[in-house]
Homo-oligomer: A and B are copies of this chain.
Amino acid sequence: MFDESGKFRDEFAALAPTGHRRMGMNPHANGGELLVPLAMPHFHDYAVRVSAPGSVEAESTRVLGVFLRDVMKLNLANQNFRLFGPDETASNRLDAVYEASGKEWMARLEDVDINLSINGRVMEVLSEHLCEGWLEGYLLTGRHGLFSCYEAFVHIIDSMFNQHAKWLKTCKTIPWRKPIASLNYLLTSHVWRQDHNGFSHQDPGFIDHVASKKSDVVRIYLPPDANCLLSVADHCLRSRNYVNLIIAGKQPEWQWLDIDSAVRHCTVGAGIWQWASNDAYDPDVVMACAGDVPTLETLAAVTLLREYIPDIRIRVVNVVDLMALQPQTEHPHGLEDQDFDALFTRDKPVIFAFHGYPRVIHWLTYRRHNHDNFHVRGYREEGTTTTPFDMVVLNNLDRYQLALDAISRIPRLRQEKQTATDRYWSTMERHKLYVSEHGEDMPEVQNWRWTS
């Protein structure tokens, strides 16, 4: 292929493609150039009607499924939206999407098959690796998608997430790279509901893993109810060049915010729930929460505290956008110090009920004024196949523990601590006996309702 002088012969050099046939000119290699924004239905139309906080139950991911069905429908013609999941679309209660499109299936269709289609836009296979790889390629070539996964098993693709996040970070410094759709994760079937699974299915650590990446790339959302989930999901599907991590339950849960309140709450990222607070700008304690189950336990703790200590002044703060907790110097979503202090005070005890490992809240907030008063409850690697309430008990995230934490930390209630501790242990004894005898939670837990 070389002439006498060692030069590559022109006839071979001429074989290389030129102009738009060069590999680097393939428009799919710069997917952002091909990106067609999703046609989006108006997410308000899918809202759960919440006339008052805690007046109605809903399954958050099922509500989201109907919204996703219509995202699917509206973009069928453009063929640029797909849902990915390791055989869990129905288990994660997103199966309304099948009304718009089936599961992609490349073999023969049999009469017994359900929801399969040779033109399906739902990609299902019990391999988190394949789902992640497919979705990354789909995004990089200018399309849109969402990966729904059991929370504990998303660690399978930790390393793949890493490389995608590093790619996004690097591309931001390359001017000719056009923005691509965000990598959206919906983690559900999460650590706190283990009625049928168990210890092997419990790991909220993907939060920690995602949060290690550059702040201009990652976003983490813990919507406390269905309307917040709708607002967050709409935002994530419209965003570009991020990794969005959304964690939301699939079980029937009490709903807290009507859709307008949900949008306001999610826009700010963290806020005082006035309807649950009675602190008049001077709380005894801040009861903070992030995640659907911790929110339930916190609100239940509030009702217990009002019963135990009628004159207690409680502020309830809910955090949807976890990065709001970080200083603004560390993350663009971070609250300014004065706004953080306005929520969490500079000197009052904060009892923080968190979905994941407690350390996350500590390292997000250690530079804040009131950090020494933060007392965080979360997952501490305790669990088994058990009732919903026993799961939180095993990890000291339950309403009785949170109420005891509050009383123990409020200086003016020092006299109440012993009574509160005794009451806590006798309740725990009742709980343990009831669960082991009946296999379900105590009536006062099962029938608990929010009362303002």
A200 pairs with B166, CB closer than 8 A: yes
Which of A11-19, A156-164, A274-282, A440-448 lines the interface with chain B?
A: A156-164
Determine whether A205 belongs to the interface, using a CB cutoff of 8 Å to chain B.
yes
Determine whether A424 belongs to the interface, using a CB cutoff of 8 Å to chain B.
no
Q: Is the interface of A mostly helix, strand, loop or mixed?
A: helix
Cα of A183 to Cα of B394 in the assembled complex, Å: 27
Interface string of A146-176 (1 = CB under 8 A from B): 0000001101101100110010011000000
A199 pairs with B213, CB closer than 8 A: no
Which of A24-32, A44-52, A355-363, A412-420 lines the interface with chain B?
A: A355-363
Name the residue of chain B whose CB is nearest to the CB of A166. Answer: B199
B357 pairs with A362, CB closer than 8 A: no
Determine whether A308 belongs to the interface, using a CB cutoff of 8 Å to chain B.
no
Cα of A213 to Cα of B156 in the assembled complex, Å: 16
Interface string of A204-226 (1 = CB under 8 A from B): 01001100111000000000000
A159 pairs with B155, CB closer than 8 A: yes
Cα of A163 to Cα of B156 in the assembled complex, Å: 11
Name the residue of chain B whose CB is nearest to the CB of A367. Answer: B362
B209 pairs with A381, CB closer than 8 A: no
Interface string of A362-374 (1 = CB under 8 A from B): 1100100001000
Determine whether A203 belongs to the interface, using a CB cutoff of 8 Å to chain B.
yes
B residues in contact with A166, CB < 8 Å: 199-200, 381
Q: How large is the interface on A (under 10, 10 to 19, 20 to 34, 35 or more residues)?
A: 20 to 34
B residues in contact with A163, CB < 8 Å: 200
B residues in contact with A156, CB < 8 Å: 158-159
Please pick, from B170, B205, B213, the residue contacting A209 in the complex, using a CB distance under 8 A.
Answer: B205
B residues in contact with A362, CB < 8 Å: 362-363, 366
Cα of A156 to Cα of B156 in the assembled complex, Å: 7
Interface residues of A in 167-204 (CB under 8 A from B): 169-170, 199-200, 203
Cα of A166 to Cα of B202 in the assembled complex, Å: 10
Please pick, from B155, B199, B212, the residue contacting A381 in the complex, using a CB distance under 8 A.
Answer: B212
B residues in contact with A158, CB < 8 Å: 155-156, 158-159, 209
Please pick, from B159, B169, B213, B357, the residue contacting A212 in the complex, using a CB distance under 8 A.
Answer: B357
B residues in contact with A213, CB < 8 Å: 381
Interface residues of A in 323-362 (CB under 8 A from B): 357, 359, 362
Name the residue of chain B whose CB is nearest to the CB of A365. Answer: B366
Name the residue of chain B whose CB is nearest to the CB of A214. Answer: B381
Name the residue of chain B whose CB is nearest to the CB of A379. Answer: B212
Report the minimum CB–CB distance from A199 to chain B (whole Å).
Answer: 6
Report the minimum CB–CB distance from A158 to chain B (whole Å).
Answer: 4
B residues in contact with A169, CB < 8 Å: 381
Interface residues of A in 59-88 (CB under 8 A from B): none
Name the residue of chain B whose CB is nearest to the CB of A169. Answer: B381
Name the residue of chain B whose CB is nearest to the CB of A211. Answer: B359
Report the minimum CB–CB distance from A214 to chain B (whole Å).
Answer: 5
Name the residue of chain B whose CB is nearest to the CB of A383. Answer: B166
Cα of A381 to Cα of B243 in the assembled complex, Å: 15
B residues in contact with A205, CB < 8 Å: 162, 209, 212
B residues in contact with A209, CB < 8 Å: 155, 158, 205, 208-209
Please pick, from B152, B153, B200, B212, the residue contacting A208 in the complex, using a CB distance under 8 A.
Answer: B212
Cα of A175 to Cα of B87 in the assembled complex, Å: 37
Interface residues of A in 207-265 (CB under 8 A from B): 208-209, 212-214
What are 27 A-B pairs at a CB distance below 8 A?
A: A152-B162, A153-B159, A155-B159, A155-B209, A158-B159, A158-B209, A162-B203, A162-B205, A163-B200, A166-B199, A166-B381, A170-B199, A205-B212, A208-B208, A208-B212, A209-B209, A212-B357, A212-B359, A212-B381, A213-B381, A214-B381, A359-B363, A362-B363, A362-B366, A363-B363, A363-B366, A366-B366
Chain A interface residues (CB < 8 Å from chain B): 152-153, 155-156, 158-159, 162-163, 166, 169-170, 199-200, 203, 205, 208-209, 212-214, 357, 359, 362-363, 366, 371, 381
In the complex, given contacts A155-B209, A158-B209, what are 6 additional A-B residue pairs having Cβ atoms less than 8 angstroms apart?
A: A158-B158, A205-B212, A208-B209, A209-B209, A214-B381, A366-B371
> What 3 A-B pairs have minimum CB-CB distances, sorted nearest first?
A359-B363, A155-B159, A158-B158
